[in-house]
């Protein structure tokens, strides 16, 4: 067995009181990214962690952060977490506030679309950990409502998404204002390209750890590619929803996101949209309904879904095919969390076949595209139904493994 399989929180240096808190929350042993990175982080080293969303990164940086934290002065936090989206800021805050609170420390989430007055009030009272999106943080820096002189630890979370969303100039500006004497942790699904420039510029001899050996894969997922008629797409989505649990459904545009959610509601399926044009309160309500199961379908655009940490998604539906293999893997990974398997369904219209075959080829897939209508009995259990591998589109290659194990609960 590997060290990551036999590690305990105690063996990697986590203090007893924090271990007890984790155990009270049902967290008994560390995920691989935690077992790999926490010892180096506790030793004071800069750390680069390569791991996809849902692999346990928040505790990987949160535990060392809280364990080494010192009290903060007003407007001068001791630790900073940079994240790309409002939703991720909220979710990281939920995880960290219990850890920090157990030692009398405070956390504050700073992001656009919410009251700046409430955020400045919290900062003035003294907050040890700030979890922030770059834009709102810079606004507060310019208003002299926050100073980074006392920051002793910085975490850049989902750095690849920061790069994809064009936030690296803001990240560089923020990092230039952080105290010289600080520790930096960076977590990302990829560590090359623009992310590599961050590592070179702001990290000193970092310990590098990869919790996802090799290239990103889709091998823990069940894949179904359904050739559908345009007029039947919403009914097909409704049929899948009625036969499944929670579904995360992706569209290409905000207008389509809203339209599909409305059409699903007309068909008796509780569904909510989430995209960048919605007010924060609407986004929060959509996420809360989905997380609780009250609204089992969340219709999302790519940008809105980045950084979302949602467990137990039963099915990902590519209502509109993604633009490239990277997007396919990122979208699909919402249902293959922390080593679990998951069902991924892609709708393919007649004029999208070649486009989808190109994505399959580059993603290492070889899965038949099967014509199907919403009243087909096979829709009732797409995970159990297996398309004939002889219909696989690429000759001379084995069909991609459709199942690598049962979903872990």
Q: What is the CATH number of the domain that holds 22?
A: 3.40.50.300
Angle at 114 between CA 299 and CA 188, to 5 degrees: 60
196, 305: one domain: no
Structure tokens at 409: 């609960």
Q: For residues 304 and 324, what is the distance between their CA atoms, to the nearest angstrom?
A: 17
Residue 351's domain comprises: 221-391
- Each residue's pLDDT expressed in tens, for the chain with a length of 409 residues: 355 566 899 999 999 999 999 999 889 889 889 999 999 999 999 999 987 766 788 999 999 999 999 999 999 999 999 999 888 898 899 999 999 999 999 999 999 888 899 999 999 999 999 999 999 999 999 999 999 999 999 999 989 888 888 899 999 999 999 987 899 999 988 877 888 888 999 999 999 998 764 444 455 678 999 999 999 999 999 999 999 888 999 999 989 999 999 999 999 999 999 887 787 778 888 888 888 888 999 999 876 555 566 667 889 999 999 888 877 877 887 775 544 567 999 999 999 999 999 999 888 889 999 999 999 999 999 988 999 989 999 875 544 443 333 333 3
Strand-pairing partners, residue 370, are 226
By the 8 A CB rule, do 18 and 66 touch? yes
Q: Map residue 84 onto helix, strand or coil.
A: coil
In a domain, 405, yes or no: no
154, 275: one domain: no
226, 203: one domain: no
Question: Pick from 296, 340, 286, 348: which is nearest to 322 by CA?
Answer: 348
263, 189: one domain: no
| Other CB atoms within 10 A of residue 408 CB | 9
46, 100: one domain: yes
106, 46: one domain: yes
169, 315: one domain: no
Q: For residues 214 and 329, what is the distance between their CA atoms, to the nearest angstrom?
A: 14
Q: Half-sphere exposure of 366 toward its Cβ, with a 13 Å CA cutoff?
A: 14
In a domain, 399, yes or no: no
Beta strands in 36-132 (DSSP E): 47-50, 79-82, 107-110, 129-132
In a domain, 63, yes or no: yes
Question: Pick from 352, 365, 400, 323: which is nearest to 228 by CA?
Answer: 352
H helix and E strand count, the chain? 16, 14
As for how many domains the chain has, the answer is 2
- Backbone φ/ψ region at 193: left (φ over 0), alpha (ψ -120 to 50), beta: left
Q: Map residue 104 onto helix, strand or coil.
A: coil
255, 337: one domain: yes
The answer to whether the pTM exceeds 0.95 is no
Domain boundary among 210, 244, 269: 210
Question: Pick from 315, 320, 305, 313: which is nearest to 251 by CA?
Answer: 320
């Amino acid at each position: 067995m590997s060290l990551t399989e036999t590690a305990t929180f105690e063996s990697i240096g986590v203090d007893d009181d924090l271990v007890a808190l984790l155990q009270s929350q049902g967290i008994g042993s560390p995920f691989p990214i935690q077992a790999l990175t926490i010892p180096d982080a506790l030793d004071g080293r800069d750390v680069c962690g390569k791991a996809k969303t849902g692999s346990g990164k928040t505790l990987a940086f949160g535990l060392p952060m809280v364990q080494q934290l010192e009290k903060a002065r007003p407007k001068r936090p001791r630790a900073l977490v940079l994240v790309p989206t409002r939703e991720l800021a909220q979710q990281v805050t939920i995880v960290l506030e219990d850890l920090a609170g157990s030692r009398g420390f405070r956390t504050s989430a700073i992001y656009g679309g919410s009251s700046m007055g409430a955020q400045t009030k919290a900062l003035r009272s003294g907050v040890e950990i700030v979890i922030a999106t770059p834009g709102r943080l810079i606004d507060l820096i310019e208003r002299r409502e926050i100073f980074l002189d006392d920051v002793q630890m910085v975490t850049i979370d989902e750095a690849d998404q920061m790069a994809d969303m064009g936030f690296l100039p803001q990240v560089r500006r923020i990092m230039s204002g952080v105290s010289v004497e600080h520790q930096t942790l960076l977590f990302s699904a990829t560590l090359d390209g623009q992310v590599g420039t961050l590592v070179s510029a702001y990290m000193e001899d970092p310990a590098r750890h990869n919790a996802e050996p090799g290239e990103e894969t889709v091998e823990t997922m069940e894949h179904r590619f359904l050739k559908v008629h345009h007029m039947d797409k919403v009914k097909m989505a409704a049929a899948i929803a009625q036969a499944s649990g929670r579904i995360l459904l992706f569209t290409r545009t905000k207008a389509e996101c809203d339209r599909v959610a409305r059409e699903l509601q007309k068909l008796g399926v509780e569904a909510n949209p989430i995209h960048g044009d919605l007010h924060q309160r609407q986004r929060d309500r959509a996420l809360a309904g989905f997380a609780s199961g009250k609204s089992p379908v969340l219709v999302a655009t790519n940008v809105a879904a980045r950084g979302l940490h949602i467990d137990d998604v039963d099915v990902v539906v590519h209502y509109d095919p993604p633009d490239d293999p990277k997007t396919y893997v990122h979208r699909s990974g919402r249902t293959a969390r922390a080593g679990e398997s998951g069902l991924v369904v892609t709708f393919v219209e007649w004029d999208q076949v070649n486009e989808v075959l190109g994505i399959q080829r580059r993603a290492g897939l070889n899965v038949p595209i099967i014509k199907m209508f919403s009243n087909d009995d096979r829709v009732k259990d797409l995970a159990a139904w297996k398309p004939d591998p002889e219909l696989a589109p690429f000759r001379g290659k084995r069909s991609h493994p459709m199942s690598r194990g049962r979903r872990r609960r």
